[in-house]
Chains A and B, each alone.
Chain A
Amino acid sequence: MATYLEINKKQVNEEKWEEPFYLNMGPQHPSTHGVLRLFLELEGETIVNCTPIIGYLHRGVEKLAETLNYNQTIVLSDRLDYIASAANNTAFALAFEKLMGLEVPRRAKLLRTIVCEMARICNHLLWLATHALDIGAMTVFLYCFRDREWLLNIYEKICGARLTHTYVRVGGVRQDFTQEIIDELYKFTEEFPSRIYDYETLIDVNRIWLKRTKGVAVVPAEDAINLGLTGPVLRGSGVPYDVRKFRPYDAYGEVEFIVPTGKNGDTYDRYRVRMEELRQSNRIIRQCLDKLPETQGEPVVAENAPDLLMPEKIRKPEPKPVPKKGVIFKGEEIPVVPPGEAFASIESPKGELAVYVVSDGSNKPWRLRVRTPSFVHISAIPYMAKNHLIADLIAIIGTLDIVLGDSDR
Chain B
Amino acid sequence: MLEKLIYFLITAVILLVIALLHVAYLTYAERKIIARMQQRLGPNRVGPRGLLQPIADMLKLLTKEDLVPYGVDKPIFYIAPFISLVCAGTGVALIPLWEKFVISNINVGLLFILALSSLSAYGVILSGWASNSRYAFLGGLRASAQVISYEIAMSLALLSVVLMAGSLNLMDIVKAQINSPYKIYLIPQIIAFYVFIISAIAECNRVPFDLPEAETELVAGYFVEYSAMRFAIFYLAEYFGMVVMSALAVTCFLGGWVGPFEVPYVPFFWFLIKLYFLLFVYIWVRATLPRYRYDQLMGLGWKVLIPVGIINLFLTALLKLIF
Binding site for B on A (CB under 8 A): 21-24, 29-31, 45, 132-139, 141-143, 146, 202-203, 206, 208-209, 211-212, 389-392, 394
Contacts and interface: CB of A to CB of B under 8 A. Distances in A.
A45 B138 contact: yes
B100 interface: no
Contacts of A141: 38
Interface string B39-57: 1100000000000000000
Contacts of A394: 216-217
Interface in B203-221: 207-208, 210-211, 214-219
Interface stretch (B7-15, B242-250, B288-296): B288-296
Q: Among B40, B135, B217, which residue has the most Cβ atoms of chain A within 10 A?
A: B217
Contact of A30 (B37, B207, B215, B288): B215
A143 B289 contact: no
18 contacts: A21-B134, A31-B217, A133-B216, A136-B214, A136-B289, A136-B290, A136-B291, A137-B288, A137-B290, A138-B207, A139-B34, A206-B288, A208-B289, A208-B290, A390-B138, A391-B211, A391-B217, A392-B293
Contact of B38 (A31, A135, A138, A211): A138
Given A29-B219, A45-B138, A142 B40 contact: yes
Nearest to A209: B290
A31 B134 contact: no
Contacts of B291: 135-136, 208, 212, 391
Nearest to B288: A139
Given A136-B208, A139-B37, A206 B290 contact: yes
B76 interface: no
A394 B37 CA distance: 25
Given A24-B134, A136-B210, A142-B40, 10 more contacts: A135-B291, A136-B207, A136-B208, A138-B287, A142-B39, A202-B288, A208-B291, A212-B290, A389-B294, A391-B294
A138 B217 CA distance: 14
Contacts of A31: 216-217
Interface of B: 34, 37-40, 134-135, 138, 207-208, 210-211, 214-219, 286-296
A141 B39 CA distance: 11
B290 A391 contact: no
A208 B294 contact: no
A42 to B, nearest CB: 8
A389 B294 CA distance: 8
A320 to B, nearest CB: 51
Nearest to A31: B216
A102 B189 CA distance: 77
B293 A212 contact: yes
A30 B216 contact: yes
Nearest to B286: A138
Interface of B: prevailing SS: helix
Contacts of B134: 21-24
> Across chains A and B, which 3 residue pairs bring their CB atoms closest together, nearest first?
A136-B291, A31-B216, A136-B290
A206 B40 CA distance: 23
Contacts of B218: 390
A356 to B, nearest CB: 37
Given A31-B216, A391-B214, A45 B294 contact: yes
B38 A143 contact: yes
B217 A390 contact: yes
Contacts of B286: 138
Contacts of A206: 288-290
Contacts of B214: 136, 391
A154 to B, nearest CB: 19
Contacts of B208: 136, 208
Contacts of A137: 288-290
Contacts of A138: 34, 38, 207, 286-287
Given A134-B216, A136-B216, A394-B217, A142 B293 contact: no
A30 B219 CA distance: 6
Contacts of B135: 23
A29 B217 CA distance: 8
A390 B210 CA distance: 14
Q: Among B214, B215, B290, B296, which residue has the most Cβ atoms of chain A within 10 A?
A: B290
A389 B141 CA distance: 15
A31 B40 CA distance: 23
Q: Among A139, A146, A394, which residue has the most Cβ atoms of chain B within 10 A?
A: A139
B217 to A, nearest CB: 5
Nearest to B220: A30
A8 B40 CA distance: 49
A298 to B, nearest CB: 41
A136 B217 CA distance: 10
B38 A132 contact: no
A142 B290 contact: no
Given A208-B208, A211-B293, A142 B216 contact: no
Nearest to A213: B290
A297 B292 CA distance: 56
B292 to A, nearest CB: 6
A146 B219 CA distance: 25
B81 to A, nearest CB: 22
Contacts of A389: 293-295
A187 to B, nearest CB: 19
A124 to B, nearest CB: 18
A136 B216 CA distance: 8
Contacts of A139: 34, 37-38, 287-288
A206 B289 CA distance: 8
B263 to A, nearest CB: 35
A26 to B, nearest CB: 10
Nearest to B142: A45
B76 to A, nearest CB: 21
Contacts of B39: 142-143, 146
Contacts of B207: 136, 138
Contacts of B37: 139
